Amino acid sequence: MDRPGKSERSRYEAEVAAYVEAGGNEQVQRVVTAVHGLHRRLSQWYTQNLSELDLSPGEWAVIRHLAAEADDHISTPSQLADTAAVAPSSMTHRLDRMAERGLIEREPDPDNRTRILVQLTRDGWEMFRQVIRESDMVESDVLSHVPVGQRDKLAQLLELAIAGLDDDLE
């Protein structure tokens, strides 16, 4: 449980010390714990920011997937449910709410009329852009303590770690 007033840095140091004392490799724990701490704090901000935009994290997951990951920015409800790790019925309700707000549209697949295709509307794309612009400001603040000349190297190192994830999962 987080204690009030405990800084992120002191939380990080305590976590690393505990993991090393339990037998973890200090170098590994420093990196993983730092990445986890960044993720935790950014997730808190994203949740707050999304709430201010009247957007749930689940709705953001749909918008983000359609904008950044889906082939041709089109997906099916079952693919979206798989991506979000929710039941198809839950995704149907989520998509209903998003369609009512004008963020997505659903149409029958012209090649398979039993399948529905989901894509962002103009308002959905604008919501995506707004979230990205606002999050970019916070993310820039997070990186403000990393010298500009070292940010590219940090990105390259993290990209190497991400590439290794794919190898490890196969």
Residues 133-166: tens digit of each pLDDT:
988 888 888 889 999 999 999 999 999 888 888 7
Asked whether 25 and 50 are in contact (CB, 8 A), the reply is no
- The count of C-alpha atoms lying within 13 angstroms of the C-alpha of 62, restricted to the half-sphere facing its C-beta, is 32
Strand partners, 116: 108
Residue among 120, 125, 61, 127 nearest 94 (CA) = 61
Main-chain dihedrals φ then ψ at residue 91, nearest 5 degrees: -65, -40
The model's pTM: 0.78
Report CA torsion sign: 158, 160, 166, 168: negative
> Going along 17-168, which residue ranges are E strands?
74-75, 104-109, 112-120
Which letter does DSSP use for residue 2 in this model? Answer: P
Res 170 pLDDT > 60: no
Q: What's the CA gap between 86 and 68, in Å, rounded?
A: 19
| Residue written as token pair 């697949």 | 109
- pLDDT of 2 higher than 60: no
Please say if the pLDDT value at position 123 is more than 80: yes
Q: Sign of dihedral through CA atoms 149, 152, 154, 156?
A: negative
DSSP 141: H
User: Contact 43/76 with Cβ under 8 angstroms?
Assistant: no
Name the pLDDT band for 113 (thresholds 50, 70, 90): confident
41-91 pLDDT, tens digit per residue, is: 888 888 888 999 999 999 999 999 999 998 899 999 999 999 999 999 999
Average pLDDT, the chain: 90
